[in-house]
Amino acid sequence: MKIISCIEELRDQLRGQLRTAFVPTMGNLHEGHLSLMRLARKHGDPVVASIFVNRLQFGPNEDFDKYPRTFQADVEKLEKEGVYVLFAPSEKDLYPEPQEYRVRPPDDLGNILEGEFRPGFFTGVTTVVLKLFSCVQPKVAVFGKKDYQQLMIIRNMSKQFALPTEIIAAETWRAKDGLALSSRNGYLSEAERAEAPILFQTLNQVADQVRAGQLDPASIEEAAMEKLVQREWQPDYISIRKRDNLQAPTATEIANGTALVVLAAAKLGKTRLIDNLEI
């Protein structure tokens, strides 16, 4: 596996490749990330991964400096997966001058749910993804469904900018107890890790209520949030949304079987976890 930090060197290495499959990451790789590499290989060749902790998507009080960085272990994992190139730019490589041009998602998608609680987050995400796409020029790129809203925003961005990159969605990789794998899971204490699967259990309970015919999403959401609070979680949201645009469904839409997804974000101790479940 070649490890490249320079954009021009990366372009030279990939020149002439017409089926490149790309998986962007922020490192601290776990089995969920590695499953993305395997899915990428099914859709293209060669497989290119990137590791870059993107400062633009972190708020002033978020964990940019503390975000786990495990580069050597990540390299070993990617080598075992047969990744062709690891693009690992420094901030100076990717942002040689201040990134004053930004890609801002539309407010009705970018400022809800995660966007409401992390202002500017999706502008940081879309800006770095567009820049990485420009560097790698992939035929396909793979993103996990765990970051459901992010996946939708990137897919819409790629479509609206007519990018020659197909966005592939990968199912969320879970531990045996249901917890969605995340680099931030490493922040959890032993007791918190034992409690963490409750978030996914709560999503399943919400989904069961919707499937059983309950048509008042607000009351379902409120009750689910209260259950988490009673267990000493600090929920930001549990929200039932339409899959196609992440807007809130009406009772009629729910009754008519509109495709839905329930999304959640909540702090357990100092660790903020997100998850979702399609209904």
pLDDT in tens, 243-253: 999 999 999 99
d(CA 209, CA 49): 40
Phi, psi of 161 (to 5 degrees): -90, 5
Mean pLDDT, the chain cut into blocks of 10 residues (279 residues total): 98 97 97 97 98 95 91 98 98 97 97 97 98 98 98 98 98 97 95 98 98 94 98 98 97 96 98 97
How far apart, in whole angstroms, are the C-alpha atoms of residue 122 and residue 110? Answer: 6
Q: Please state, rounded to an integer, the average pLDDT across all residues of the chain.
A: 97
Query: In the structure encoding, which two tokens stand for residue 122, read together?
Result: 């999706």
First to last CA, the chain: 40
* Tens digit of each residue's pLDDT (9 = 90 or more) over 221-258: 999 999 999 999 999 999 999 999 999 999 999 999 99
Examine the residue annotation and report whether 33 is marked as an active-site residue of this protein.
yes
* Cα–Cα distances in angstroms (integers) from residue 120 to residues 62, 107, 124, 160, 264, in the given order: 12, 11, 6, 20, 19
d(C-alpha 155, C-alpha 159), whole Å: 6
Q: Exactly one of 4, 22, 25, 33 is catalytic; which is it?
A: 33
pLDDT of 61 reads 84
Please name every residue paired with 21 in a beta bridge, in sequence order, or none if there are none.
47, 140
Q: Is 44 helix (H, G, I), strand (E, B) or coil?
A: coil
